[in-house]
Amino acid sequence: MLSLAEFQFTLAADLLDGGMRTAYLLPGDPALVREALRIHRNTVMSGLTNALRISYPTVAWLTGEDFFDQAALEFCSKYPPRGACLSDYGGGFAEFLEGYAPAGCLPYLADVARFDLAIERCANAGYPAPIFLTLDLQTAIEIDGSLITLAVEYPVDQLRDAYDDGDPDGLECLDMSPAAQNFAIWRDRDGTSVRQLTAPAATFLGAVLRGEKADAALAATLLHAEPEEALAAIRTEIFAAPYVRIQSQPHGELE
Amino acid sequence: MVQPIPLNRAAFNAWPIPARAGIGLRVPHHRRVIEEGHVADWLEVHAENYMIAGPAAQELDVIRRDHALSLHGVGLSLGSADGINDEHLARLSDLIARYAPGLISDHLSWSSIEGVHLPDLLPLPYTEEALSVVTRNLDQAQTALGRTLLVENPSSYFQISLSSMSEPEFLGELARRSGCGILLDINNIYVSARNHGSDPQARLRAYLDAIPAAAIEEIHLAGHSIEKLDCGRDMRIDDHGSQVSAGVWWLYQSAIATIGARPTLIEWDTALPPLDVLQAEAAKAQTVLDQLIRKEELPYALAG
């Protein structure tokens, strides 16, 4: 006799791939059994698709419902969730879109997905402790723990703005030529905020968020920028940023 | 910068759920509830919607000040042969510590197997093995949470030939072995009966005969839809997207006439109406409860 685990594994497979392996265990009119399995499959897939739609609203808006649903269905069937909180689900959708043939004519779509997810994750992040960076014996900076940095190739912030404004006409004047762009994303009282970063600021901030001390973060920045440019970027874009607080007494070294 | 309150910090005193009608609270209604201050005798929320530290959790902090609260989960997967996900249990524990809910519930179903989680309440075969698995999972959860859980009867669209006992028998024995409470979903009884061609009243009687009345600590009422299938038959779908049907009101009336007043929740999760529609449904349930208490003739006639 089939064990409970075997039954559950087989039914789960049926719901993910539309199979009918468990049908022989479900007595009654075969037509009703088929419909019942379809109802459960629809519940699973619509739940997962809706979760993706919430995490990737700009992608869904740009592609339209039919395209998004089809892409989501394929992603969800291949990569079902590992936990019950659907707000955690959907990481990897950007990478999936990069290899998704129907999205081949939309080279910016994966970056839009990365931006959407960064905003969603930032808005719903736990309460991470702030990051302290000691600059010298008297000075440290405190960086908001919700801060995320993101490097992309397309003007994803402008696409997201068009979505937020419900303005498809605004897409027509966008320059969609690929060019390296960096963003700081953080949570504040009004929700989630975004600010574009220059390359030196992004390099420094990225190193700090990875746990580097100030000297190492600066050294990494100077590999790709002149000292004057790097220091100006760090001073104006990071030290003066809304997600940073200057401490006159250091709280100690970063871990 | 935002100074948040960690989710796992206790913030509220205990507030028992009264044997009165309550409303299922969904995120789109948060603003209205915060503006009005007090909208129902008690509220129930889906636990998983508040396990992340976002705006919804902060709004619930405000709402909880004015309302008794019940937590209703969909993610424990009590019927999973693999057991319960420890991370999910820990998140639920944090939520309980923070909100001090009057009742905590989940479903007689499963959603996870071999690390894959499907967002649906999937049916169990009612076997001795399944009873042992659910009892074991419940023991683990109730011990970890330090609270009694209520287990809700599911709606079903098919039966499983592996079953060796009925659903009411399974639930009754589960309550006896684990000490859990039962959340009796009247709409699910009605939907399952109609889908399997049985009499809803007879099905309700089977539940009330098999489950000790004292174990039934909460009742759910909800709407369902009727889907016309390609084969020409009807299937009732437990979609929680409409008013409670006359047949379900009649069953509810029969249930509380047998077991007495219980906290009764109006569940409405899809095609969400304005808050006053939910309040009107809750008022109907309260009318039935009030008339029971006054031993008056109950208002709903059989409508099939």
| Contact with chain B for residue A185, Cβ under 8 A | no
Q: Do B124 and A4 touch (CB under 8 A)?
A: yes
Element (H, E) at A48: helix A30-55
In angstroms, the Cα distances linking B112 to A23, A180, B126, B161, B302 are: 20, 41, 17, 21, 39
The answer to whether residue B165 is domain-embedded is yes
The answer to whether residue B16 is domain-embedded is no
The answer to whether A141 and A135 are in contact (CB under 8 A) is yes
Contacts for A186 with CB less than 8 Å, ≥ 6 apart: A122, A144, A146, A147, A148, A192, A193, A242, A243
What interhelical angle do A4-17 and B128-145 show, nearest 10? 90
B117–chain A nearest CA distance, Å: 5
- Give contacts of B135 with chain A, Cβ < 8 Å: none
CA distance A241 to A237: 6
The answer to whether residue B148 is domain-embedded is yes
The answer to whether residue B242 is domain-embedded is yes
| Contact with chain B for residue A86, Cβ under 8 A | yes
Residue from the list A15, A35, A85 with its beta carbon closest to the beta carbon of B51: A85
**pLDDT of A200 strictly over 60:** yes
Residue from the list A127, A189, A191 with its beta carbon closest to the beta carbon of B53: A127
**pLDDT of A254 strictly over 90:** no
- Give contacts of A35 with chain B, Cβ < 8 Å: 157, 229-231, 235
Percent of chain A with pLDDT over 70: 97
Q: A71-103, pLDDT tens digit by residue?
A: 999 999 999 999 888 888 999 999 999 999 999
Full domain range(s) for residue B104: 21-293
B126 → chain A, closest CA residue: A4
Residue from the list A5, A28, A188 with its beta carbon closest to the beta carbon of B159: A28
Q: Which CATH number fits the domain that encloses residue B59?
A: 3.20.20.150
- pLDDT of res. A139: 86
CA A176, chain centre distance (Å): 21
B92–chain A nearest CA distance, Å: 11
B231 → chain A, closest CA residue: A31
3-class DSSP state of B236: strand
As a whole number of angstroms, the longest Cα–Cα distance in chain B is 60
- pLDDT of res. A172: 82
The answer to whether residue B150 is domain-embedded is yes
Residue from the list B48, B53, B113 with its beta carbon closest to the beta carbon of A125: B53
A247–chain B nearest CA distance, Å: 14
> Which tokens hold the place of A103?
């999205």
Q: Do B74 and A84 touch (CB under 8 A)?
A: yes
CA atoms within 13 A on the CB side of A183: 23
B58 → chain A, closest CA residue: A124
Buried b (16+ CB within 10 A) or exposed e, B68-104: bbbbbbbbbbbbbbbebbeebbebbbbbbbbbbbbbb
Q: Do B158 and A26 touch (CB under 8 A)?
A: yes
Q: Do B157 and A39 touch (CB under 8 A)?
A: yes
pLDDT, averaged per 10 consecutive residues of chain B (304 residues), comes to: 52 90 96 95 96 86 95 97 95 94 98 94 98 98 97 95 97 98 98 95 98 98 93 90 96 96 96 96 97 73 41
∠ CA A31-A32-A38, rounded to 5°: 95
B266–chain A nearest CA distance, Å: 21
CA distance A65 to A74: 14
Q: How many domains does chain B have?
A: 1
Average pLDDT estimate for A99-116:
96
- Give contacts of B77 with chain A, Cβ < 8 Å: 84
| Contact with chain B for residue A19, Cβ under 8 A | no
- In one-letter notation, the amino acid at residue B69 is L
Q: Which of residues 134-153 of A touch B (CB under 8 A)?
A: 144, 146
CA distance B304 to B194: 10
CA distance B278 to B276: 5
The answer to whether residue B7 is domain-embedded is no
Residue identified by tokens 């970056």 is A111
Q: Do A40 and B113 touch (CB under 8 A)?
A: no
- pLDDT of res. B9: 61
The answer to whether residue B87 is domain-embedded is yes
- pLDDT of res. B298: 59
**In a mutagenesis test of the B interface, which of A1, A2, A8, A190 is the best target, namely the one with the most B β-carbons within 10 Å?**
A8
